[in-house]
Structure 1
């Protein structure tokens, strides 16, 4: 490892391993000889800030720049960014001579704990695997998830062990063994290091989520996108989350003061979402269902009309609650009954666009056609936020592709849709969120 702040190149010893072969942490012991200024302990700070030493002090990650001198508590060694073979720069030599300070060698002892996971893997994997070696992984609570390509599978146990040992807080490393389940969005996995414990607790947007990572969908890389969408919702808004998972949109939205109809087809997801609603104290603001997305869209429109949230009071901060208790003020009045859904969230990027065909049947249901027109004709149709993938990597072509597919599924033209780039999920695939207000023609 060569720090950008140091001229000294330090790399771990190379020991190329064979599949199933031994892995010895003692391989990574290394001694590095540097030079240091031997000076009175009382003058350490003075010399650390001395202008003549600027750019000459040792700056290596996880290595102390000042060390004690053995058997001499009154003396310190200020380490320099020099090896024993390097000439001593003139400003350093002049300063040392002027202050009668000895320039002396010092040996730094490095071991396995010093090196990063990437450095260790680079030194043990075959050279032809180094360029694309797995250094990135997703974390959910105590669990890290890697997606190893076939060439790395013979080394999966060691890769998992190194990742586990080099990341504090991890207890489990799993590897994806199959494609994502097309129905429930989770994938088969195997534990390659640590405890075979997939019940995790993750924190996001000030909320706590507990779930079985092996049975539900969770992507820690979408935290920013979750927060972005929730920021669009207002207190009192009625939000319908079609593919809610364990609640990363629904629960923060409810914590903000929105009212949420949250659905997922996966019974494991809705089981944990219900528990998470309880843990985050929003159970009275989130209704959880387990049904097909198309059926839920129809259900949500009718549920909002026939069975709205009632007697839900505005959320108060702890400061506001304390003030209310001290002043013996009555609680604030309940929120107005909301029978109009303001937002639909559709976070199933592989197929969510296809579910847009459910909105016309949902808003033309014969049993409620008059009421739907009455409510949404005056209050405005909901905003749709639909996540999707595209293989068009140029922004203009990506927008054309996504809008075309959305209009085909919806069966009508869109007016002023907006697209938000979320992330690149593969070298040839991007994730976007298309947002638009349902056109009035959907009710015809």
Structure 2
């Protein structure tokens, strides 16, 4: 039996005695192991790059995400902290060196566009190529992820909601709700104020079909939505911009429906908060009947993203 160890004293004495009782010959061999860059995992290489007093940069996988890194096609998308600023170029180059399939590494900056709600991106390594193609629920999405909002973490939420409804989509973005719903042969009217989102929504519709799209302010879209359908009405309105969706709820009070639709309103709220009350305060009316509040994900230590689904009160 050979046991490789730099220090003989580290080997448990009890194990050694047991081996000797069984007449097993034991030999200690001192050996040196040389670990090269190619032998390191992505996490190990990043840990060696950064000082010990700086927060670690999480690793990632090729499809989807782990921690604070998202990979889209041949691009790595990082959410670095301010303390990483001095090392971000080296972090980017290391990711490219350790992952041959990646040619572009970008970092999401803190600055967010207040009108269209997407984060500014900075290139930290590789070539500037922001055009991405993503497959989700057998649908193809193409977009410039430096100009539109896309979050792969919401894939399961998209599926959860699409599985429950027929037509209607508000704040559609590049279509993560609208296009899968259209593929189910729902009648979908999708709106987004961001011209870039609208452009890629149109492109994605050509790839996947089935959706009518609009580039309007949400208030205008809600006001005109009841005139889009001739002999029927929407079953669902999806308001999936959690930062401000609740502020548009009062627009529904101006409409008349023969059959009140179900509203799916996304919002940010403190953990364990009464989300129904937050929606009612914005809506200006008490929500009666069945209300479903679904926790989508945690976005901060005391902040969650929720989806509050309810049927519009008949009093409207």
Q: TM-score range by the shorter chain?
A: 0.7 to 0.9
1:384 aligns with 2:257: no
Does the C-alpha gap of structure 1 residues 97 and 289 become closer, same or farther in structure 2, counting only changes over 3 Å? same
Q: Show CA shifts across 1:284-320 (max 9, x none).
A: x200110011111122221023xxxxxxxxxxxxxxx
Shift of 1:179: 2.1
Alignment correspondent of 2:279:
406
Kindly indicate whether the alpha-carbon contact (under 8 Å) linking 1:412 and 1:441 is maintained by their aligned counterparts in 2.
no
User: What is the CA–CA distance in structure 1 between the aligned matches of 2:161 and 2:154, rounded to whole Å?
Assistant: 11
Give matches, 1:33-432, under 5 Å.
82-83=4-5, 85=7, 87=11, 109-129=34-54, 132-135=55-58, 136-167=68-99, 169-233=101-165, 237=166, 239-280=167-208, 282=209, 285-305=210-230, 339-363=232-256, 372-373=257-258, 376=259, 381-390=260-269, 392-393=270-271, 395=272, 398-399=273-274, 402-415=275-288, 416-432=290-306
Does the C-alpha gap of structure 1 residues 427 and 167 become closer, same or farther in structure 2, counting only changes over 3 Å? farther
Q: Show CA shifts across 1:178-206 (max 9, x none).
A: 42212112122210012210001112112
User: What is the CA–CA distance in structure 1 between the aligned matches of 2:89 and 2:22, rounded to whole Å?
Assistant: 52
Does the C-alpha gap of structure 1 residues 225 and 168 become closer, same or farther in structure 2, counting only changes over 3 Å? farther
User: What is the CA–CA distance in structure 1 between the aligned matches of 2:90 and 2:120, rounded to whole Å?
Assistant: 20
Structure 1, unaligned runs of 5 or more = 1-34, 37-79, 306-337, 364-371
CA radius of gyration, larger in: 1
How many residue pairs are counted as aligned between the two chains? Answer: 301
TM-score between the two structures when normalised by the length of structure 1: 0.62
Q: Show CA shifts across 1:353-385 (max 9, x none).
A: 11101111132xxxxxxxx43xx2xxxx11111
My pick for the range that moved more, 172-181 or 271-280, is 172-181
User: What is the CA–CA distance in structure 1 between the aligned matches of 2:22 and 2:93, rounded to whole Å?
Assistant: 48
Does the C-alpha gap of structure 1 residues 168 and 241 become closer, same or farther in structure 2, counting only changes over 3 Å? farther
Does the C-alpha gap of structure 1 residues 93 and 296 become closer, same or farther in structure 2, counting only changes over 3 Å? farther
User: What is the CA–CA distance in structure 1 between the aligned matches of 2:84 and 2:100, rounded to whole Å?
Assistant: 23
User: What is the CA–CA distance in structure 2 between the aligned matches of 1:141 and 1:418, rounded to whole Å?
Assistant: 35
Q: Secondary structure at the match of 2:228?
A: helix
User: What is the CA–CA distance in structure 2 between the aligned matches of 1:182 and 1:92, rounded to whole Å?
Assistant: 70
Alignment correspondent of 1:331:
none
Kindly indicate whether the alpha-carbon contact (under 8 Å) linking 1:263 and 1:289 is maintained by their aligned counterparts in 2.
yes
Does the C-alpha gap of structure 1 residues 104 and 424 become closer, same or farther in structure 2, counting only changes over 3 Å? same
Q: Secondary structure at the match of 2:157?
A: helix
Kindly indicate whether the alpha-carbon contact (under 8 Å) linking 2:132 and 2:142 is maintained by their aligned counterparts in 1.
yes
Kindly indicate whether the alpha-carbon contact (under 8 Å) linking 2:5 and 2:31 is maintained by their aligned counterparts in 1.
no
Q: Show CA shifts across 1:70-104 (max 9, x none).
A: xxxxxxxxxx7x43645595688899969xxx997
Kindly indicate whether the alpha-carbon contact (under 8 Å) linking 1:241 and 1:261 is maintained by their aligned counterparts in 2.
yes
Does the C-alpha gap of structure 1 residues 256 and 84 become closer, same or farther in structure 2, counting only changes over 3 Å? same
Kindly indicate whether the alpha-carbon contact (under 8 Å) linking 1:142 and 1:201 is maintained by their aligned counterparts in 2.
no
Kindly indicate whether the alpha-carbon contact (under 8 Å) linking 1:178 and 1:189 is maintained by their aligned counterparts in 2.
no
Structure 2, unaligned runs of 5 or more = 59-67
CA RMSD of aligned residues (A): 2.6
Q: Secondary structure at the match of 1:188?
A: strand
TM-score between the two structures when normalised by the length of structure 2: 0.86
